[in-house]
A and B are shown apart, each in its own frame.
Chain A
Amino acid sequence: MRRPYARFLAMAALSLPLTTAAPLGGHGLRDASPGVTFARLTDSAPAATAPPILPLPGGRSPSEQKAHSFYFTRAMYSGWGGGWGGGGFGGGSWSVDYPVADRWIVSVLGRLTGVDVFPLENPVRLDDPDLRRFPFLYALEVGGMNLRKEEVEGLRDYLLAGGFLVIDDFWGESEWYTFEREIRRILPEYEIVDIGLDHPIFSTFYEIDEIIQVPNVGQGIAGGPTHENGETGRIPRVRGIFDEQGRLMVIINWNTDLGDAWEWAEDPAYPLQYSTYAYQMAANFIVYAMSR
């Protein structure tokens, strides 16, 4: 009984414009939607850190969906954390905010930019050869990342072939070290460097002149401190990994949570400045990834 209702809510929410206040209750949507989408899988497959390719609504796998210019592709990676879905509801840390944030971002991006965007989520495992069909990849909560060898190789080849990875929503020193350890396994020969505001990624589509710390939804609505994980989570950083030609391969958004801002943009209680910034950053990432 719960599943059809939840899907209806999700789709109804997606049909709304970004700036419209949604009376449907985003909190409920967040909790319900992932459970709906993955209920069948959790029935048949035990919880695993690297789940198989998930069917998309409509029953078509990502490989069957090639006709669009852009797919908001979410990295399904192995890590700590149990169960699926956002916030620890049955999935690994990769699935936080999934798929609502994904659906919001594709919906809004289709309107903000001229991108011919696939209108649904597109999660792909790092060791899936199909990953290479999607040169834009989003991964979050990487503080819980613990990659298998196949995933390391898959992601390394993906990035060296020309793929572009956006990292989001991890906080503080501890999570940084975890992520750094993993990314060193993937690209040991490349340095992680701070990206200055003069970098084209901050002006490719929108002019961004300040790096804002985007809080999680709870803190955002509560209006209190915006950081997590103590003092080391206080300063938001945008860092990157560049290849030999100086081309950006990985952009790392540390101490910020763009995904929550995408996901909760329709919540009237969530501050507009965060969601505006997050969507502007997303538009820049995507346009940049498709042109540089």
Chain B
Amino acid sequence: MALGLWELLFKYPPLVFEKGRIVFATPLPAWVLVLATALAALAAWTYLLRVRELSGMDRAGMLALRTSLLALLLVLLFRPTLQVPVAVEQENYLGILVDDSRSMLVADDGSSTRAQELIQRLDTDLLEALSERFRIRLFSFSGDTKRVEEVGQLSFLGGQTRLGRALDQAQSELAGVSLAGLVLVTDGADQSEAELNSSVLSARASGLPVYTVGVGREEFQRDIEVRRVSSPRGVLRGTSMMVDLVIAQNGYAGRTVPLIVEDEGRVVNTQDVELPMDGTPATVRVHFTADEPGWRRFTFRVPLQDDELVTENNRRETLVNVREGPQKVLYLEGEPRFEVKFMRRAVTDDAEVQLVVLQRTAENKFLRLDVDSGEELVDGFPLTREELFSYRALVIGSVEASFFSREQLQMIVDFVSERGGSVLFLGGRRSFAEGGYAGTPIADLLPVELDPNGDPDYYRELKVTPTRAGAAHAALQLSSDPAESAERWSTLPELSTFNRLTRLKPGATSLLVGEGPGVEEGQVVLAFQRYGRGLVLALPVQDSWIWQMHADIPLEDETHETFWRQTLRWLVNEVPDQLTLTASAEPAAINHAVELQAELRDSAFQRINNAAISASIASPSGASTELPLRSTNQVNGEYLASFLPKEGGVHQIRLRAERDGEELATSTLALDAAEDDGEFFSAQMRAPLLRRIAEETGGRFYGLSDIEQLVEDVQYSGSGITRVESYDLWDMPIVFLLIVGLVGGEWAFRRRRGLP
């Protein structure tokens, strides 16, 4: 409507004015123009003399109207002309890229799909109109981009929409020909935005406008989508997992729907979720236990509700490596303390965690508990990296820094930073600053700042409270019901500390704080930080056993056991093995290469370069592939291979490293390959993204409804082979309206003011 009015007044579309430049193209000789200008000036002067006797207001009004008219006529005499570069007919190519992915099968209005609407709009007169001026090159794209001859060849079965890759491949295909622009017809459900940014920059640099056509609606009327699942990659068997999900929805506000969690098809939890107001995502936390070992596929789904527009986005899957133990944790305690007894009891039923205790019971006298052999720890705290690094986590109790040699202190640091192990420092008279750790390598490791001297007389009782981060942390959930967990935290008896620790290191997180008489604000009870590859925790209390023994704690209460089981499992859960394997894309796309990256270390966790590593890959259909990994020669201990999944489903990859025929280490990875991953998630048409692509490259964004405008706009793209066309401006209707307006205005002014 607005555009029609514009063209009625200005004769040409706005894009012509935007792209063109105004020049004066009068055929009259210069002296005629000078003469005309002089005459106009004379006429203005004469007129000024005539209206001199009028009052100020009248004179100004008459003068303004008449001189404006004279000026306008004078300008028209110079013949203003718009010069626009226009694509030469049939000399330029136009690349039209049509989204061929499965998300195009979404029926936004519940009746016809995006694909059907698109075909209808493209296949009628539009392509014909474009081909009158351009040589059309049609591409279909999803994960890959390919030439097609006609729209009918589109299947709309692709996955992994990659707008950036499509733009790159089309440009590459059309390199060397004069290209007027690219037209990108898509819903914008891109799976790789980083890649897209670089492609847009590249198009912009080569002056190639990208015209984007958005297909679909920006918001679904009725849909529920499990949008995001945040779950750990690996856990110990029997771990009570806590997974956060985001459920987006429109059209079902206030409805309670079940969220079902399945472990390889077996329902492990069902939780009711009340959906919030339309457009507001619900954040849901589900708890369940990972009981079965191996790589497990966990599914989170909301059953289809009536009239949902997209039926494929109600479920998400995630692969989790459920490891079997026992995973060894070394607990060094510097004195006989009840912490040892009760911590051991707390995890005694946990078959996956082996708490090995080395307890100094007197000077140079040690008690070893739960060791595997008579030799283990026979010389006290490990003296070699190999021995220390055979544990996955350390708990260091009340033991002074001088107990360790300098080498042992550094080894503890390396245990975290290089081996990727976890260390938990417990409170006590000989812990932290009070144990003389300030200025040692351990001080760097800790998530808290130590006072240089410590305070040997400091003793405070603490009411322990989770911080906001603590309340949300998996290890600190005392119940599967968050409200119940919070209630239990609030009723736990007080603990005590000898260690005044209130300053966190930058990047550290406080999970539990203590309050009480004489206790400074922010007294840390539990804080952690990542350090190198590993994790460091500070728990500066010495009597967590009170949570087991206190008279206010019922006998059946499991708080103490839960706290320690979850904390120790947290310590060991993500500690890497000697051989690790990751894939560059998880899940992978069928028929797209994925890079497998392995890292190999010896028992002292030094990187090994000269090993032979091979991957045995079992595909879902049972086919087996052997794939050698090659050393990168760039990063020590790093090995790579490229794997092309050819079928959908979970590929079981078993990695074996050997040297001189001796097996060094093994590792496994489950890699899911999918056709349609992500296509139906966040599948609403993403107008802002498409608009940005167009604006950054000098193109324009259209909806399917105004796609006809594209035909006209694209010829002014300025790209490709163009010729300059001149458009007269003097005969624009707006000019005649102005002249009539000025003459009529003067007449009306005279009448109104009673002027001659």
Contacts and interface: CB of A to CB of B under 8 A. Distances in A.
Interface of A: 66-67, 69-70, 112-116, 129-133, 135, 157, 160-163, 204-205, 245, 247, 286-287, 289-292
B461 interface: yes
Interface centre among B334, B459, B551, B553 (most CB of A within 10 A): B551
B361 A113 contact: yes
Interface string B460-483: 010000000000000000000000
B155 interface: no
A184 B461 CA distance: 37
Contacts of A129: 551-552
Given A113-B362, A162-B345, A287 B459 contact: no
A141 B341 CA distance: 28
Nearest to A134: B549
Contacts, number: 87
Contact of A130 (B357, B367, B369, B551): B551
27 contacts: A66-B543, A67-B459, A112-B362, A113-B362, A114-B335, A114-B365, A129-B551, A129-B552, A132-B549, A133-B549, A135-B341, A135-B549, A161-B548, A161-B549, A161-B553, A161-B555, A162-B545, A204-B367, A205-B362, A205-B367, A247-B345, A287-B336, A287-B361, A290-B337, A291-B341, A292-B344, A292-B369
A133 B363 CA distance: 27
B211 interface: no
A115 B741 CA distance: 105
Interface string B354-392: 000101111101010100000000000000000000000
B280 interface: no
B192 interface: no
Interface of B: 334-338, 340-342, 344-345, 348, 357, 359-363, 365, 367, 369, 429, 459, 461, 496, 498, 542-543, 545-546, 548-553, 555
Contacts of A204: 361, 367
Contacts of B337: 69, 116, 290
A69 B335 contact: yes
B545 A135 contact: yes
B224 to A, nearest CB: 47
A67 B359 CA distance: 20
A289 B361 contact: no
Contacts of A290: 336-338, 340-341
Contacts of B543: 66
B546 to A, nearest CB: 7
Nearest to B357: A291
Contacts of B341: 135, 162, 289-292
Nearest to B548: A162
Nearest to A156: B555
Nearest to A67: B459
A133 B548 CA distance: 10
Given A114-B334, A135-B342, 12 more contacts: A66-B461, A66-B496, A66-B543, A69-B542, A129-B551, A129-B552, A131-B551, A162-B545, A162-B549, A163-B549, A290-B336, A291-B336
A245 B553 CA distance: 21
Contacts of B344: 291-292
Given A67-B459, A291-B359, A132 B551 contact: yes
Contacts of B542: 69
Contacts of A112: 362
A292 B555 CA distance: 18
B615 to A, nearest CB: 43
Contacts of B551: 129-132, 157
A113 B362 CA distance: 4
Contacts of A114: 334-336, 360-363, 365
A137 B599 CA distance: 53
Nearest to A131: B551
A135 B429 CA distance: 20
A292 B355 CA distance: 12
B496 A67 contact: yes
- Residue picked from A66, A69, A163, A289, most chain B C-beta under 10 Å: A69
Across the A-B interface, the 4 shortest Cβ-Cβ residue pairs? A129-B551, A290-B336, A132-B551, A114-B335
A141 B461 CA distance: 36
Given A133-B546, A291-B357, A69 B336 contact: yes
Nearest to B334: A114
Contacts of A162: 341-342, 345, 545, 548-549
A291 B369 contact: yes
Nearest to B359: A291
A245 B346 CA distance: 12
Contacts of B357: 291
B183 to A, nearest CB: 73
A6 to B, nearest CB: 32
A160 B555 contact: yes
Contact of A115 (B336, B342, B555): B336
Nearest to A245: B348
Contact of B335 (A116, A157, A245, A247): A116
A291 B498 CA distance: 21
B665 to A, nearest CB: 34
